[in-house]
Amino acid sequence: NIVAAIALIWRHDKPWRVLAMTVAGPLFFATDATAALIALYAVGAVAGGRRLAGAAAAVYLACAVSLTYDASRRRDYSVLTIGAKHVDGDPPPTWSLPWWLPLLVAAVLIAIVLGLSQLRRTKTDLDVAVQSRDKATAQSQRMHEDMLIQQERSRIARDMHDTLAAGLSRISLL
């Protein structure tokens, strides 16, 4: 779990490697899948399609394994037992949960993470599009200004040509 937490430092630079490291923890050790969910968020911000679906399936498996393990033992601080009250002095409660509840909670967690990551990705894409539009608008404005300057130069050149032609005509008549 400590290795996965440390690996999260590199989740933006190497999201796929970090995801692989964080998914391995819950699959092989008695630990939770929080780091894998965070890594999935980072992957979802840069990937889409089948690759993201594969990553989500791997994290779902890790979450399901971790939560199933939590459901089959006493775990006072599990996501499955949030809101359960424990009175000091009483024996710790044991949790008897249906087999499908860890799978459902894992699916909900994956859906939330994927939704948030896609929201972030959409916002990033929108920011890039706005910057691109602003750059194109500025370039178009510069081109328009250059065109107006060129038109003004052409008008001045025509006026000078007409003035010079009229002056030369007068000289030739003399």
**Local confidence band at 138 (pLDDT 50, 70, 90 cut-offs):** very high
Identify whether the C-beta of residue 49 lies closer than 8 Å to the C-beta of residue 23.
Answer: no
What is the spatial distance between Cα 119 and Cα 44, in angstroms, rounded to a whole number?
Answer: 10
Q: What is the pLDDT of residues 64-110, one digit of tens each?
A: 888 887 776 655 556 566 666 666 777 666 666 778 888 899 999 99
- 6-51 pLDDT tens trace: 777 767 778 888 888 888 878 777 777 888 888 999 999 888 889 9
Q: Which residue has 């087999």 as its token pair?
A: 99
d(C-alpha 76, C-alpha 70), whole Å = 9
The pTM for the full model equals 0.65
Give the pLDDT of residue 79: 59
